[in-house]
């Protein structure tokens, strides 16, 4: 064969190969700016799949009506909201609610995350915003849902760090929100758990007109959520979902879904045909405290310290008329804890009185008081209790004006630095003398709580020793056994209201786990179910 033909053939081959590579790169560059929205034409989720957020559902039914019958609103001259922002903690069902709106209205659903818009190349995010809304106009009526809006919509400004690509993308989103007519049936929904950092331009009327709070569910809401998640689970007939709901204050819908799944996995591993109460109990404890540490062997002396420590919490809590009942006390190591005192609140609580906080401090310090009384010296196991008790006392003085120092606060809100998660320092607004007074008052509250706990335990000295002996043998006691062991009468739960104060002004609510609630806030999330110990006892 003529070598010239071979040479020409090779040149033509490489030219065609290079052209195809160049065209592919060009097409790739164009595709880079296309929308990454995941489109669902026939969403199957409906409001029947959502529970525990009835108020949010009621507000969103209006959005469904907008999408189904826009002409009814147009005739009367009403303007359909362009945007709906779902605000709430993680795991409360914001994304599921948005999907349910699309399912109820039977319209296409465009879903993406705020981070899907932002890239390292300037202009890509803005192009994706334009393409997303272009496709939405072609599919109207429809819903455009942006999850984690705070990744895209942080407040602009002259912060320490400039992010030109994100700001350009945000500007394009604002333009698109202004540029479409809601009467065509396009509703933009967004979700965030950090509304305080969003740009003010996003929140103004005419863009995200509706702000819907999707909060953690109460006890009835948790039960309704559990009923949804056990639909496809073989559940033993003896299981009481109401009891499970009462033992899981502060848990969101995602947490409850995981709890049911963990219980089902555990039942399958045990070879059972249905999920029983024991599996749900184990799942609750695992979710709150971690796995049981069967290999963590404590010495006899350490087990004795842990037993008295936990009984200190339990006996003090059961001795206070407004405290949450003790569900169970265990000295079985679990997660990072060597022992746990589980409380079962009678109901979710959202308002905290001064007497509640004083009681909470006393219960937190019940473990340290028991160590001093029955062991003769303190251990490191009370470290977490001391920290939380000190924080509560500090909040009473500094934040809530609940002491003789005065009905004022001693802190200022810290201003967030724009484009960062950092906070700017603010000058102290009180003197050194007042700072010393505050420190003394905090110390006084903690010491009084420790003294109250010690006095309660002294009054039940022999009974606590007998309970400790039983606890060391059985490794766990129920709240009823603790109460009977110290000879307390049947428990009567007093209302947590100013109209019905206890005879002793320090009697109130017991100590919940700090990890699942804000420390002593006046309007707070529901308390958690356990009081855990510092692992340093090991």
Mind telling me the catalytic residues? 310
Question: Residue 235's beta-bridge partner residues?
Answer: 275
d(CA 203, CA 44): 30
**Burial of 331 from C-beta contacts in 10 A (0-12 / 13-18 / 19+):** buried
Cα angle 404, 410, 412; round to 5: 155
Residue 317 to residue 248: CA distance in whole angstroms: 19
Residue written as tokens 């602009």? 156
**Cβ contacts of 195-198, under 8 Å, gap ≥ 24:** 195/85, 195/87, 195/150, 196/416, 197/150, 197/154, 197/155, 197/416, 198/149, 198/150, 198/153, 198/154, 198/155
The residue count of the chain comes to 538
Widest Cα–Cα separation across the chain? 112
Instruction: Confirm if 124 and 164 have CB atoms less than 8 A apart.
Output: no
**What SS3 state is found at 289?**
helix
H/E/C letters for each residue in 65-127? HHHHCHHHHHHHCCCCCCEEEEECCCCCCHHHHHHHHHHHHCCCEEEEEHHHCCCCCCCHHHH
Identify the three-state secondary structure at position 4: helix
Q: Reduced to 3 states, what is the DSSP secondary structure of residue 342?
A: strand
């Amino acid at each position: 064969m003529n070598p010239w033909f071979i040479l020409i053939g090779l040149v033509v081959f490489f030219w065609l190969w290079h052209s195809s590579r160049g065209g592919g790169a060009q097409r790739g560059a164009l595709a880079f700016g296309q929308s990454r929205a995941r489109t669902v034409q026939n969403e199957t989720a409906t409001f029947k799949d959502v529970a525990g957020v009835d108020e949010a559902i009621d507000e969103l039914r209006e959005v469904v009506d907008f999408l189904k019958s826009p002409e009814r609103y147009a005739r009367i001259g009403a303007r359909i909201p362009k945007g709906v922002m779902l605000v709430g903690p993680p795991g409360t069902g914001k994304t599921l609610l948005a999907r349910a709106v699309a399912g109820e209205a039977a319209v296409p659903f465009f879903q993406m995350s705020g981070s899907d818009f932002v890239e390292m190349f300037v202009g890509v995010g803005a192009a994706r915003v334009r393409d997303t809304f272009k496709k939405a106009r072609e599919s109207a009526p429809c819903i455009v849902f942006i999850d984690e809006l705070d990744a895209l919509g942080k407040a602009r400004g002259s912060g320490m760090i400039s992010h030109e690509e994100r700001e350009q993308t945000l500007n394009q989103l604002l333009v698109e929100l202004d540029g479409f007519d809601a009467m065509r049936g396009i509703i933009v929904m967004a979700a965030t758990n950090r509304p305080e950092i969003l740009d003010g331009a996003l929140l103004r009327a005419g863009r995200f007109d509706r702000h819907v709070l999707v909060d953690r569910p109460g006890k009835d809401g948790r039960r309704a959520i559990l009923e949804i998640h056990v639909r496809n689970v073989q559940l033993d007939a003896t299981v009481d979902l109401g009891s499970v709901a009462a033992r899981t204050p502060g848990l969101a819908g995602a947490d409850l879904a995981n709890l049911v799944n963990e219980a089902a996995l555990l039942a399958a591993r045990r070879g059972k045909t249905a999920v029983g109460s024991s599996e749900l109990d184990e799942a609750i404890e695992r979710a709150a405290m971690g796995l049981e540490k069967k290999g963590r062997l404590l010495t006899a002396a350490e087990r004795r310290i842990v037993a008295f420590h936990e009984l200190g919490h339990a006996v003090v809590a059961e001795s206070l008329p407004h405290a949450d009942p003790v569900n169970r006390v265990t000295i079985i190591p679990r997660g990072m804890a060597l022992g746990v005192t589980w409380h079962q609140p009678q109901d979710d609580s959202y308002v905290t009185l001064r007497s509640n906080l004083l009681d909470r401090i006393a219960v937190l310090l019940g473990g340290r008081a028991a160590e001093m009384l029955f062991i003769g010296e303190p251990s490191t196991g009370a470290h977490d209790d001391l920290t939380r008790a000190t924080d509560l006392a500090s909040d009473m003085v500094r934040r809530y004006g609940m002491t003789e120092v005065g009905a004022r606060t001693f802190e200022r809100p810290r201003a967030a630095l724009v484009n960062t998660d950092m906070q700017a320092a603010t000058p102290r607004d009180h003197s050194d003398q007042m700072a010393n007074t505050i420190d003394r008052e905090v110390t006084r509250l903690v010491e009084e709580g420790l003294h109250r706990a010690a006095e309660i335990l002294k009054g039940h000295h022999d009974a606590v020793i007998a309970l400790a002996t039983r606890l060391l043998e059985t490794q766990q006691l129920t709240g009823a056994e603790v109460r009977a062991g110290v000879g307390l009468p049947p428990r009567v739960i007093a209302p947590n209201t100013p109209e019905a104060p206890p005879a002793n002004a320090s009697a109130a609510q017991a100590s919940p786990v700090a990890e699942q609630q804000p420390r002593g806030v006046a309007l707070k999330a529901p308390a958690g179910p356990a009081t855990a110990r510092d692992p340093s006892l090991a």
